[in-house]
Structure 1
């Protein structure tokens, strides 16, 4: 059985980094790697160890255990044909057939809370006279980039007992590999790997990788262990505990217990998106290439944190993002390399207020540590957003006299329909978009318990919304009113954006008959 290459797996480390690949073992994306680490969690992600070339030396000769895909379309060697089975639970595990008397159970898992990946090969059967050889394939590149053969790569290694340390490039994290075998320096380059998913996307799809040496394991003595780690305090603490074999055993046990604690596979899968940012938490918008985006974070929090009772994580996310408010706005995106955050979302900050409101409601009466200072920080962030929007901020975002929120400027995509090609905004929606009004009025509603000012604006806005957005002829809401900031105009396009006015938020804006008509 050769598992389909289209079947992919991903192991997240809770920091924004991950290991990922396919069931067949072929890398089809530039993002497939065994050690992809976030150097400034969850940003600054770099591919350090792309993959492995593994084979078993048996009394009958060498047997390939991995396959690579090379341009223009050559798969070599034939290791993937030896896969008897594959499972992703509780982490990727393959059964490889070496010969009639020997199989190997191969496992890969990421360690939560550290840029560490554990790789093992367990012999099942007669492993007498069998040696496992493993070549790591390295790059040390930005995770969006590709790597080419060059003379600047440092293939030399520092060896400290069971740990080999490579420093591929200046300014790139060192790569530590703790093994239960022996290491032989044998530098070489592997050229023209082909990534078919990148090719299908119309992107550059070939890469060269460096291999500084080979690990050798005597399988007659038991399992082979290779622990890969990006240099740093967290990974150093993991590797300093004991030998590679004992470290792998302890990490396996603790990671298995952590995963088994989730009530269902869906909860465990959702946990992969909750990651560290600074001293707090945030949510990755999607794997493999997205970082943490404002709008996506606060929409996802309602399911990932509030619905699952993970209120401590919700608190940490909200407190972390509270410090990012600027002129009433929250970033739509944090660039991966620490450049200035992008403030080009009208709804991210409004979703933040909605989630703060729902979080405080969920936390009421529970034994959740929320200090007065933390509560004040959340209230201050909410007030700063509303004050900024009411006074007017970037991109034409401002409170209008009717209590509704106007937004939009030429060349800027502010709503979730944010496709942009060059300077062309595909769906500009300048004016007063329907879901933005639903979020704005809900934000005012959440804050009205602390201030009559926001209650008055909310009530005025509700009247204007029901009067101006309902299209009696079509039986649904306009998508935008005051289109391009022209008073009295409307875009009657039927879009699902209006569903947020019918339900799904704390304050529905439509009565029963209108809501039913919309739905």
Structure 2
């Protein structure tokens, strides 16, 4: 449980630093700051996924509370406004806890109000659960809904949407855009009084910082009023949904959500407190994809959809370490079903008929995920029937050549891309500017390629066939060392371009040490890890470029041009801590001393879970100290890789590798 007190919101600026997030298992979410002042266009109490996990629409922005007791009115609302008028209702906040459901305790006069927010799993439904104890005076609690009806990437201005409403028992149905289901609001106590007005000019500080439009208008359809007698206590719920809510009971939904979260912890079975917290965090990212009827992985909240690369990197931590093996199978099948010419989708985008395929590494990470799945489940039958043919297909296309100039060169190495397109995970592009050009032979792609060929040979033997390409690994290995090993710097070049090697110190070389099959000697691996530790390690992640490089950008701030210019030019990434810790333990022979140090690498994340997105791992951090969290407040591969490294490399809880007899390493 994460507790926060008044020291966390002594100023407005401090109060908006931390954000809460709850999700519903189909791509929908609710989120705001811990003082319930919205700072993003993505903040809201109900962002519904109408075509899971996509077509996400903001329906209910806020529910502002005002408590009138006798002659005193206590305004609990917290809002910033274009006009400069701000509401500071958070001064009445006594405590906020996230366990992981966000709970807010307000204390004013002789009155206490406790509010808990959660979503019903599998439904586009948010429940706001209230427990209120009135003081000595008769009182009325007024709840004012701020409503919208737009895609969560956009902004609404007054008059843009013609809202209509229809009274229903206990509440109201509010219709916005014709093609979007109405918002249904109901309260289990009090009554609804219709109105018709707008809240003009809500200001979003985070959008202003990102160079986006920071102002928005929201519709106010009316209000709920809940009366209180002197000394009366009430427990009641407000339900916001785009589905039928006639038979929904808020108390039952709360109990069900708590059972769901407790069940995840029991299923994973870890006693370690940090592991249990990360297991709960992992649940936010495993969601339904309606188009396949199976599970997929949301890359990050609040703005990312499901991305192939992110899903495959995150799968071991999200679904295998947590023992959600059925979900792991579904995620693998979701992306396998959509492969094209050996390529897995890079991303599914709203409104697009087909996914996009501009990723050279997603398919290779899929092969690695198959390997990890087999280690954890020993489910060779499923692998043989469903996944082995996909692995063979991927390797075949990479050998013979596929889209985006992806293919094996005569030296056995994989080359991909062109000056105009970026296919690796360092994929920032602004208009025609490829910020980090890495076309040619990238180090992590060829580490993944070697790993994939070795895994295919291993699987061939396990299913009773001859190794598919028995001679190829040795050729890849020899030429990889010749091309990538930088004898002068004692680390690996980042990419071999048509103009020669790019030798900037980047973290991608970690994959050549951390993946199951390595081409490096132990001495080489140790040197790589040491250089990364010296120049790239940054408490909550690994920098994407050395601070000594002239291209280095230490702060990720500003408009899109400035942000994307820093995205892979120094900015530290949380997910890279996983490969780093795995590589560190490996090159140190899993010694007791290396385990102690690995724990030191992990423990700071206990504090990170209390910052930015409470209960989650942030996407990125400024490369300069003090490593401010940036980007998504909750990132799938960040949570997944911290959890995987904690369990496998620190707690040393690993599956028994029946596949180890097929492993071929130098040390």
Same fold (TM over 0.5): yes
> Which residue of 374, 385, 410 corresponds with 1:360?
374
Q: Which residue of 2 aligns with 1:223?
A: 235
> Which residue of 289, 293, 318 corresponds with 1:277?
289
Pairs within 5 Å for 1:82-231? 82-99=92-109, 101-126=110-135, 129-150=138-159, 152-159=161-168, 161-180=169-188, 181-219=190-228, 220=232, 222-231=234-243
Mapped to 2, the partners of 1:371 and 1:462 lie a distance apart of: 31
Q: Give the 4+ runs in structure 1 shifted more than 4 A.
A: none
Cα offset, 1:208, TM superposition: 0.5
Mapped to 1, the partners of 2:152 and 2:219 lie a distance apart of: 16
Seen in structure 2, the aligned counterparts of structure 1 residues 44 and 127 have a Cα distance that, compared at 3 Å, is farther
Structure 2: runs of 5 or more not aligned: 1-5, 10-14, 271-275, 461-465, 530-667
Residues 184 and 214, structure 1, Cα contact 8 Å, conserved in 2: yes
Q: Secondary structure at 1:47's aligned position in 2? A: strand
Q: Secondary structure at 1:252's aligned position in 2? A: helix
Q: Which residue of 1 aligns with 2:488?
A: 473
The alignment covers a number of residue pairs equal to 496
1:460 lines up with 2:475 in the alignment? yes
Mapped to 1, the partners of 2:493 and 2:160 lie a distance apart of: 61
Cα offset, 1:35, TM superposition: 0.2
Provide Cα deviations, 1:318-345, integer angstroms capped at 9, x if missing partner: 0111111011111211113334322111
Moved more, 457-466 or 272-281: 457-466
> Which residue of 14, 17, 20 corresponds with 1:9?
20
1:348 lines up with 2:357 in the alignment? no
Cα offset, 1:155, TM superposition: 2.7
Provide Cα deviations, 1:205-241, integer angstroms capped at 9, x if missing partner: 000000111111124472232011123xxxx3xx343
Seen in structure 2, the aligned counterparts of structure 1 residues 152 and 94 have a Cα distance that, compared at 3 Å, is closer
Seen in structure 2, the aligned counterparts of structure 1 residues 5 and 407 have a Cα distance that, compared at 3 Å, is same
Provide Cα deviations, 1:427-459, integer angstroms capped at 9, x if missing partner: 211211111000011111111131533333223
Q: Secondary structure at 1:183's aligned position in 2? A: strand
Mapped to 1, the partners of 2:160 and 2:317 lie a distance apart of: 49
Seen in structure 2, the aligned counterparts of structure 1 residues 253 and 456 have a Cα distance that, compared at 3 Å, is same
Mapped to 1, the partners of 2:444 and 2:108 lie a distance apart of: 59
> Which residue of 286, 298, 307 corresponds with 2:321?
307
Seen in structure 2, the aligned counterparts of structure 1 residues 127 and 106 have a Cα distance that, compared at 3 Å, is farther
Q: Secondary structure at 2:300's aligned position in 1? A: coil
Mapped to 2, the partners of 1:454 and 1:351 lie a distance apart of: 19
Pairs within 5 Å for 1:311-322? 311-322=325-336
Cα offset, 1:189, TM superposition: 0.8
Residues 325 and 384, structure 1, Cα contact 8 Å, conserved in 2: no
Provide Cα deviations, 1:373-412, integer angstroms capped at 9, x if missing partner: x752322322222222222111110111221111112310
Q: CA RMSD in A?
A: 1.9
Mapped to 1, the partners of 2:148 and 2:122 lie a distance apart of: 23
Q: Secondary structure at 2:340's aligned position in 1? A: coil
Query: Structure 1 length normalisation: TM-score?
Result: 0.91
Mapped to 2, the partners of 1:490 and 1:34 lie a distance apart of: 50
Cα offset, 1:94, TM superposition: 1.3
Q: Which residue of 2 aligns with 1:48?
A: 59
Q: Which residue of 2 aligns with 1:38?
A: 49
1:253 lines up with 2:261 in the alignment? no
Q: Which structure ranks higher in relative contact order (CA pairs < 8 Å, sequence separation ≥ 6)?
A: 2
Relative to its length, the structure with more helix (as a share) is 2
Residues 26 and 67, structure 1, Cα contact 8 Å, conserved in 2: yes
Seen in structure 2, the aligned counterparts of structure 1 residues 260 and 107 have a Cα distance that, compared at 3 Å, is same
Mapped to 1, the partners of 2:170 and 2:233 lie a distance apart of: 16
